[in-house]
Chains A and B, each alone.
Chain A
Amino acid sequence: MTGAVPPLVVGLGADNAVATLEAVLHGLAEAVTVMDAQGQAVYANDAAIALLRLGSARELLDAEPGAIMDLFEVYDEAGAPVDLHRLPGFRVLAGERDPDPLLVRNVVKATGEERWLLNRTTTIVDTDGKLMGVANVIEDVTAVKRAELAQRLLAEALQRGLRPPELPAMPGLATASHYRAAGELNEVGGDFYDAFPAGDGWIVVIGDVAGQGAEAATLTGLARYTLRTAGQLTGDPTRAMAQLNATLRGQHQLGLCTAVCALVQIAGESATVELANCGHPRPLLLRDGTLAELGEPGPMAGAFDDGAWPGTRLALRPGDTLVLYTDGVLDVVGAADRFGAERLHDALRTAPSPHPPALVEHLAAVLDAFQVGAQRDDTAIVALRFLGAG
């Protein structure tokens, strides 16, 4: 950023140039201070005097280099104290070229007032290229930073509220789940899962809302509770999908969600699962070491006014394991390519145990080992095994 700004050339003794420069700087909304090559302040504009809580420029110009810093507590974004030598201006004086701008949390010791300040610097050289000093530009970005923090906290709180810590115990079924939110704290993705009683069975859902941040978190809540309510009231995965589509289409903005809704009904030694799918990766059935993809997806919910989400019904045998997952699993970035369906199938087929906790743990470990760099998307996995009476 600073690299793009050409060094300011000030001809020595050119009074007109200095006067012109002063007039320009005084009118700026950003705080500007100028230090000579020894770090002594030689100029501050009105905005800088106000920002540094000084009565006049004289207080700054008469102070020892850096003494004004003692009026403030200064921290970086990670919360570590910042001393004078980390400020871009002093890094230039120490011989560094084009240091990065530094964002700091600045607390006025006298009042406790907190500001977020972005410190940038421009090098001042004479016509021979000799360092004459630096101009510091300090921008008060408190409002922006507070809005960003508020959004991050809100998204985190929403996400915590949206993600069940663990699946409820479902009689006749062994279950396990795995959830990992993507990368940065302020990037909340939209993967979710849920399980709840419906009629004489249980409905298990997994879903993925397109987008990130507070908006995606809100849609995630809407999608999850629409599926829960429609699923409980109708006990019908197809109707739950249709309701999810209608609810998302009724939103002011385009909201898209893929999901699988699975109704599991158990009667003694036999069990059935009925699945409906809106544009989601197809659930996998692991049976005696073989793997099959189940059901036919209908369109992603929220995409179009109309659609069909036909249910697929299947009898489960004792020992059958259903694996539901989100596309974040397929899209994990490795050294040369993405994880993909083939590696997922291999990992499930070769898992040491088909028992859900061990299976999910194995898959999570395979994904971790495959992944290179930061995680880009959420990943969610839910596994259910029909135990039978034995």
Chain B
Amino acid sequence: MHALSPGESFKLVERRGDGDTVVLTLLGELDIGTVAEVQQRLDALRDARQATLLELDELSFMDSTGIRLLLGAREDAMRVSWSFHVTRGSAPVRRVLEAAQVIDHLPYVDRAEA
């Protein structure tokens, strides 16, 4: 399992999943201070048309900058036929997606498939 080091608020861990999928696991707090790293990596994976799964289950916090990241990637995926999926996410993530009423519109993948 991945874990944050003491004093660390966010971490992005990358690994190869099944098949050719790149799995990005986000840990900790995804907000204005930490979103840029994920955005850059997602942009690069999109440009390479690299199938990507974003795991949101280890996030302890996410705000609207995270929603923007997810919806932006969703639109990119539809526009340029890029395989982009997300997991259901942790309770704090689901709460924020529910509040913004976008929770039913994300490209989910079951964890078992990852």
Q: Nearest chain A CB to B41's CB is how many angstroms away? A: 18
- Give the residue name and chain of the B residue nearest to A258 (CB): B100
Docked complex Cα distance between A258 and B98 (Å): 13
Interface 9-residue window, one of A208-216, A228-236, A262-270, A311-319: A208-216
Q: Nearest chain A CB to B28's CB is how many angstroms away? A: 13
* Set A254, A297, A331, A376: member contacting B101, Cβ < 8 A: A297
Docked complex Cα distance between A370 and B99 (Å): 23
Interface 9-residue window, one of B15-23, B49-57, B58-66, B81-89: B58-66
Q: Which residues of A contact B63 (CB under 8 A)?
A: 327, 331, 377
Known contacts A187-B32, A254-B68, A256-B68; is-contact A338 B101 (Cβ 8 Å):
no
**Do A256 and B105 have beta carbons less than 8 Å apart?**
no
* Set B67, B72, B75: member contacting A300, Cβ < 8 A: B67
Q: Which residues of A contact B75 (CB under 8 A)?
A: 254
Q: Which residues of B contact A338 (CB under 8 A)?
A: 61
Q: Which residues of B contact A208 (CB under 8 A)?
A: 64
- For A, the interface residue count at a CB cutoff of 8 angstroms equals 24
**Do A279 and B32 have beta carbons less than 8 Å apart?**
no
- For B, the interface residue count at a CB cutoff of 8 angstroms equals 17
- Give the residue name and chain of the A residue nearest to B62 (CB): A331
**Do B33 and A299 have beta carbons less than 8 Å apart?**
no
Q: Which residues of A contact B67 (CB under 8 A)?
A: 210, 256, 300, 303
Q: Nearest chain B CB to A9's CB is how many angstroms away? A: 33
Contact code string A352-381 (vs B, CB < 8 Å = 1, else 0):
000000000000000000000000110000
Known contacts A256-B67, A256-B68; is-contact A212 B100 (Cβ 8 Å):
no
- Give the residue name and chain of the A residue nearest to B70 (CB): A303
**Do A210 and B68 have beta carbons less than 8 Å apart?**
yes
Taking the complex as formed, is B4 at the interface, i.e. its CB lies under 8 A from any CB of chain A? no
**Do B64 and A256 have beta carbons less than 8 Å apart?**
yes
Docked complex Cα distance between A376 and B99 (Å): 20
Give me the interface of B with A, judged by CB distance under 8 Å: 31-33, 61, 63-65, 67-68, 71-72, 75, 99-102, 105
List the 5 closest pairs (A to B, CB-CB), nearest first. A279-B100, A210-B64, A299-B101, A210-B68, A300-B100
* 5 A-B pairs whose Cβ atoms sit less than 8 Å apart in the complex: A279-B102, A297-B99, A298-B101, A300-B102, A307-B101
